[in-house]
Structure 1
Amino acid sequence: MVDNALCKERKATRRPFVLAAVILAMFMGAIEATIVSTAMPAIVADLGGFSLYSWVFSAYLLMNAATVLIYGKLSDIFGRKPVLIIGILIFLVGSFLCGLAGSMEQLIFFRLLQGLGAGAVMPIATTIVGDIYTKEERARVQGYLSSVWGISAVTGPALGGLLVEFVSWRFVFWINLPLGLLAIAGLLLFLHESIEKKKPEIDFAGTFVFLVSISCLMFLLVEGGSKFPWLSGPSALLFAAAAVAFILFIWIERRAASPMMPFSLWKVRSILIANIVSLTTGVMLIGISSFLPTYVQGIMGESATVAGFTLTAMSIGWPIASTLSGKLLLSIGYRKTTMLGGVSLILGSALFVFMSAESGPWWAAVSSFFVGVGMGLTSTAFIVSIQNSVQWDQRGAATAANMFMRNLGNTVGAALLGGVLNSRLQAFLQSQPNEDVQSLSVDSINELLGGEGHRLSSEMFHTLQEGLAGSLHAVYVVVFIFAVFSFLFLLLLKKGE
């Protein structure tokens, strides 16, 4: 039976054009996830500050994670269209300013602004599809949507590499501008909602304490073991602040009239597991997309274009699996579909663990492909299951909650894995017997990635490569551990689901 709101919308809304606008909006998210990663070695070479590498991702993801639930709630109150358009506009302003950045610190600040707008794009675009299609159509259309998103993302790494090599890294941000404007035009012209506006009840207190908690945790994970020891006063203070703020967040959410995180939705077993696995796969996704180009360029010695193509393999596996996921959900069920995805995630991450400089870019590409297949199978199944479990007035919040958990995984992952990279690299350099090598720092990687390794002695160059390779290997071990956790959680789904 079709929702009343759905019936009203279908009378006026032109679904093919709205779907096209949604695809454009999600396309921005697709290239944002890959094109910036491909450009990061060039950005570091130009602006310096390799020690701040992970903050370029963490700043964006922090604001994304902090606002995604608010946007989901606002869309349930004011409708999807106005909230999504405002989010896209903020995202475009941030993208434009990122392209003008003159230092790593400026880029990180503008990425905060970009993330503020990005919080609206992915969850509300996905929710719109859930609104304008029936339950029977959602599995097929969400599969197509993920497929189109993935196919669009194929161009991201390749385009990023080409822009870096032949134009400028700044255009990896400016390419969002025409896409976003076209998406806004499509939404304005063809999406017509019929909603009952409610008095806005925004959980500002919950949002604030969550932001404090995640910021303290991120700072601890990125700088711990590098700027200050893990067992030290600053580490203890940051951990205590994060824990207290998170406990306060839960306390506020349980008493808020309109909570940022509706914990009642988590009582449904399939939604609970989907959200937990979205967290763990979010850590995996950011670990691969953020650091693979650095490995391919810094360790394998390949160009930015080749590094981009290794990430493109993930974007090929994702849409193929998303299309399959929509069909498998109807034939073998939710549990078996997600289990297949979990196996693929383990296989792909295991291949990364065994990757070496001699493996070559094809090994990296195959590893990325299997991770993409795992992401496609699980993410599409999660979204369809969640949207089928709730009514229209909760669909925005429920979809946003799942996106929130993946964004939170991205955020924590960027900080955690960036911290692992920095601390392992610094420890390696300090352990070297040569005093000249000991004088190197994490930021010395700037020269390695900027093609200026000829300025270093042969010993220093190879030592930096060895240190970076070992540090990135540690990152991929952590990614593999999260893949195993994802699979173990999927085993908890009830048989027959």
Structure 2
Amino acid sequence: MSEATGNDKTDVPEGGAPPGEAGAQWLTHKQIMIVLPGLLMAMLLAVLDQLVVGTALPRIVGDLGGVSHLSWVVTAYVLASTITTPFYGKLGDMYGRKKFFIAAIIIFLAGSALSGLSQSMVQLITFRAIQGLGAGGLMVGAMATIGEIVPPRQRGKYMSYFMVVMMLATVAGPLVGGWITTAFSWRWIFYINLPLGGAALVYVMATLHMPPRRVEHRIDYLGGILLGVIATSIILVATWGGTEYSWASAPVLVLIALAVGSLVAFIAVERRAAEPMLPLHLFQNRNFSLTMVLTFFVGLSLFGAMTFLPLYQQTVQGASPTVSGLLLTPLMVGSAITSIVAGQAVTRTGRYKMFPIIGGAVMTIGMFMLSRLGVSTTRLETSLDYVVLGLGMGFLMQMVSLIAQNSVELRDVGVASSARMFFQQMGGSLGVAAFGAVFASRLNSAMTSAGGQFHVSGAAVDPATVTSLPAALRHQVYIAISHAVQGVFVWVVPASVLIFALALFIKEVPLRSGAPDREQPAAEPELVG
């Protein structure tokens, strides 16, 4: 493949490019399709590895012990990837995307190999954190690269591929993890990354050619550290609050105070930094600010609430872990359909505002349907609910990324991509904590009202334990779990309505094409107020 300065690009002359994109050079469709598989493979690895471990955790505990630290096998990965995401986005903007993308793949592969070789739970948690350090760069690198090589008007159809891959990973993760663990060993859920990641590494190195870039400014290390402290504090509050510690305990309150104090310090630092980790001026753009709030509530409502569906499926509906994953297939199908439709429509028309509005409305309907789950709800009925929810997700999620990237100059496309992922992860972490508290409260309340003997602390309920209960008590637990899950989705519905309401305020700034539009000049970003 030729270099990014080759003659087969579609150049955007300075007169037709908006500020910050003068002289931007986009790849042709053929070249994009050559690069795309490597980006999708990297994204698949990052998302899949976040989900594939869950089904292997019982085997891991049986082999390594350390059950009290079990949750950290997942938390360490999520925490490390969240903290490093802003760094990859900003450094890629400053010094070029490819070198950091390749570094992320290498770090991820090293963490995978070491995780498979772990001989203790402490080692596994440490090596999972190393994996996460690379995973943060895989996700933001893939999305930001699309922002650099594809004109905004064309991005929708290519971003739909990423949406399909993410939904595929969501369904396939638990299935693949369960199959590999059963057929081989839990260690192979990490070893399998080596040939796949190695192929992605070689492919990206061979096909991805981007223009060199260097911004002569000091790296905003202090801003990055403070952002990491904020993320760590929030995720630890979400992980420990109501489970390890009560919400009013000293550790939780200290973490909340640390998050607030770090946020104040972060804002002060970013105002003075020569090259801020997260430029505050971006939030003066109405669309950028709206997409950050939107993605936060998408993370809070979607990922927070979906956490409790497998428990409902594996207890009330009697599904095995493998079947539980398969039951989410309608969700993937629905989101894939609307994601592709929306992407193609945006490419043809250049208009996108209607899709997050429709997505928010359909997502609200889907969440309302799920708020009616009960003991007698059939798998067919829940499948229809998942289809509706998936249809809304497909219209919404990729459009949020597209609007965020279109709201900033080309030099900040990595920051926009990493900020979207950061806010989504923060929303998801807080959603799990908040809805976990709702779930546990309603579950215990329902059991107390029924005179049951079953009690839980936090949001943890083991399906195997529930299945082993006497029939009468088990039925009471089923009713209580249904009641608790209903309560979670009842609270999610207002959050979904808020997503719909916020989408109404998005301004439809024309998407820039690969060639200048002589009839309609590029619009300047609209400032808040």
The one-letter code of the counterpart of 1:134 is P
Segment of structure 1 superposing worse, 232-241 or 342-351: 232-241
**Residue 401 (1) aligns with residue 416 (2):** no
**Residue 356 (1) aligns with residue 374 (2):** yes
Per-residue CA distance 1:35-70 (angstroms, 9 max, x = gap): 445666877898899987765554433222221111
Per-residue CA distance 1:353-400 (angstroms, 9 max, x = gap): 111232233333333333332222122222223333333322212222
- Please tell me whether the aligned partners of residues 55 and 415 of structure 1 are also in contact (alpha carbons under 8 angstroms): no
Using the alignment, how far apart are the partners of 1:212 and 1:482 within structure 2?
26
Counterpart among 321, 324, 336 of residue 341 in structure 2? 324
Residues 443 and 120 of structure 1, relative CA distance in 2, 3 Å threshold: closer
TM-score, structure 1 as length reference: 0.84
Residues 443 and 344 of structure 1, relative CA distance in 2, 3 Å threshold: closer
Residues 431 and 45 of structure 1, relative CA distance in 2, 3 Å threshold: farther
Counterpart among 241, 247, 266 of residue 258 in structure 2? 241
- Please tell me whether the aligned partners of residues 61 and 67 of structure 2 are also in contact (alpha carbons under 8 angstroms): yes
Relative contact order, higher structure (CA 8 A, sep 6+): 1
Counterpart among 337, 343, 349 of residue 355 in structure 2? 337
Residues 495 and 126 of structure 1, relative CA distance in 2, 3 Å threshold: closer
Please report how far the alpha carbon of residue 437 of structure 1 lies from its aligned counterpart in structure 2 after TM superposition. 4.5
- Please tell me whether the aligned partners of residues 234 and 426 of structure 2 are also in contact (alpha carbons under 8 angstroms): no
Residues 66 and 444 of structure 1, relative CA distance in 2, 3 Å threshold: closer
Segment of structure 1 superposing worse, 150-159 or 424-433: 424-433
Residue in 1 that maps onto 2:143? 126
Residue in 2 that maps onto 1:64? 81
Residues 259 and 444 of structure 1, relative CA distance in 2, 3 Å threshold: closer
Residue in 2 that maps onto 1:481? 494
Residue in 2 that maps onto 1:379? 397
Residues 14 and 52 of structure 1, relative CA distance in 2, 3 Å threshold: same
Residues 61 and 473 of structure 1, relative CA distance in 2, 3 Å threshold: farther
Residue in 2 that maps onto 1:220? 237
**Residue 291 (1) aligns with residue 304 (2):** no
- Please tell me whether the aligned partners of residues 310 and 362 of structure 1 are also in contact (alpha carbons under 8 angstroms): no
- Please tell me whether the aligned partners of residues 52 and 174 of structure 2 are also in contact (alpha carbons under 8 angstroms): yes
| Matching of residues 227-306 of structure 1 within 5 Å | 227-306=244-323
Segment of structure 1 superposing worse, 345-354 or 417-426: 417-426
Residues 136 and 286 of structure 1, relative CA distance in 2, 3 Å threshold: closer
3-state secondary structure, aligned to 2:353: helix
Using the alignment, how far apart are the partners of 2:315 and 2:324 within structure 1?
10
Residue in 2 that maps onto 1:490? 503
Using the alignment, how far apart are the partners of 2:69 and 2:373 within structure 1?
25
- Please tell me whether the aligned partners of residues 92 and 114 of structure 1 are also in contact (alpha carbons under 8 angstroms): yes
- Please tell me whether the aligned partners of residues 64 and 118 of structure 1 are also in contact (alpha carbons under 8 angstroms): yes
Per-residue CA distance 1:96-153 (angstroms, 9 max, x = gap): 4445667776655444333221111122111212222234432332334434554565
Per-residue CA distance 1:168-204 (angstroms, 9 max, x = gap): 5554444333222111111111112221323463322
3-state secondary structure, aligned to 1:359: coil
Residue in 2 that maps onto 1:196? 213
The one-letter code of the counterpart of 1:493 is I
Using the alignment, how far apart are the partners of 1:478 and 1:246 within structure 2?
27
**Residue 85 (1) aligns with residue 97 (2):** no
Please report how far the alpha carbon of residue 336 of structure 1 lies from its aligned counterpart in structure 2 after TM superposition. 1.0
Percent identity between matched residues is 32
Residues 109 and 449 of structure 1, relative CA distance in 2, 3 Å threshold: farther
Using the alignment, how far apart are the partners of 1:15 and 1:353 within structure 2?
42
3-state secondary structure, aligned to 2:214: coil
- Please tell me whether the aligned partners of residues 288 and 404 of structure 2 are also in contact (alpha carbons under 8 angstroms): yes
- Please tell me whether the aligned partners of residues 74 and 200 of structure 1 are also in contact (alpha carbons under 8 angstroms): no
Segment of structure 1 superposing worse, 270-279 or 41-50: 41-50
Please report how far the alpha carbon of residue 423 of structure 1 lies from its aligned counterpart in structure 2 after TM superposition. 5.7
Per-residue CA distance 1:300-345 (angstroms, 9 max, x = gap): 2211221111223222222212111123334482221111110121
Residues 220 and 204 of structure 1, relative CA distance in 2, 3 Å threshold: same
Segment of structure 1 superposing worse, 120-129 or 97-106: 97-106
Using the alignment, how far apart are the partners of 1:357 and 1:168 within structure 2?
35
- Please tell me whether the aligned partners of residues 287 and 407 of structure 2 are also in contact (alpha carbons under 8 angstroms): no
The one-letter code of the counterpart of 1:475 is V
Using the alignment, how far apart are the partners of 2:131 and 2:269 within structure 1?
28
Please report how far the alpha carbon of residue 234 of structure 1 lies from its aligned counterpart in structure 2 after TM superposition. 4.5
Specify every segment of 5 or more residues in structure 2 that has no aligned partner in the other structure, as ranges: 1-10, 13-20, 511-529
- Please tell me whether the aligned partners of residues 362 and 391 of structure 2 are also in contact (alpha carbons under 8 angstroms): yes
Residues 48 and 325 of structure 1, relative CA distance in 2, 3 Å threshold: farther
- Please tell me whether the aligned partners of residues 48 and 443 of structure 1 are also in contact (alpha carbons under 8 angstroms): no
- Please tell me whether the aligned partners of residues 50 and 74 of structure 2 are also in contact (alpha carbons under 8 angstroms): no
Using the alignment, how far apart are the partners of 1:62 and 1:283 within structure 2?
16
Segment of structure 1 superposing worse, 377-386 or 27-36: 27-36
The one-letter code of the counterpart of 1:280 is F
* Count of matched residue pairs: 490
Please report how far the alpha carbon of residue 458 of structure 1 lies from its aligned counterpart in structure 2 after TM superposition. 4.3
- Please tell me whether the aligned partners of residues 328 and 337 of structure 1 are also in contact (alpha carbons under 8 angstroms): no
- Please tell me whether the aligned partners of residues 167 and 336 of structure 2 are also in contact (alpha carbons under 8 angstroms): yes
Segment of structure 1 superposing worse, 200-209 or 307-316: 200-209
| Matching of residues 407-446 of structure 1 within 5 Å | 407-422=425-440, 437=454, 445-446=461-462
Residue in 1 that maps onto 2:200? 183
3-state secondary structure, aligned to 2:308: helix
- Please tell me whether the aligned partners of residues 421 and 475 of structure 1 are also in contact (alpha carbons under 8 angstroms): yes
3-state secondary structure, aligned to 2:307: helix
Please report how far the alpha carbon of residue 25 of structure 1 lies from its aligned counterpart in structure 2 after TM superposition. 0.9
Segment of structure 1 superposing worse, 364-373 or 80-89: 364-373
Using the alignment, how far apart are the partners of 2:187 and 2:345 within structure 1?
41
- Please tell me whether the aligned partners of residues 234 and 255 of structure 2 are also in contact (alpha carbons under 8 angstroms): yes
Higher-Rg structure is 2
Residues 294 and 99 of structure 1, relative CA distance in 2, 3 Å threshold: farther
Please report how far the alpha carbon of residue 82 of structure 1 lies from its aligned counterpart in structure 2 after TM superposition. 1.3
- Please tell me whether the aligned partners of residues 226 and 422 of structure 1 are also in contact (alpha carbons under 8 angstroms): no
The one-letter code of the counterpart of 2:111 is G
The one-letter code of the counterpart of 2:42 is A
Which structure dedicates a bigger proportion of its chain to helix?
Answer: 1
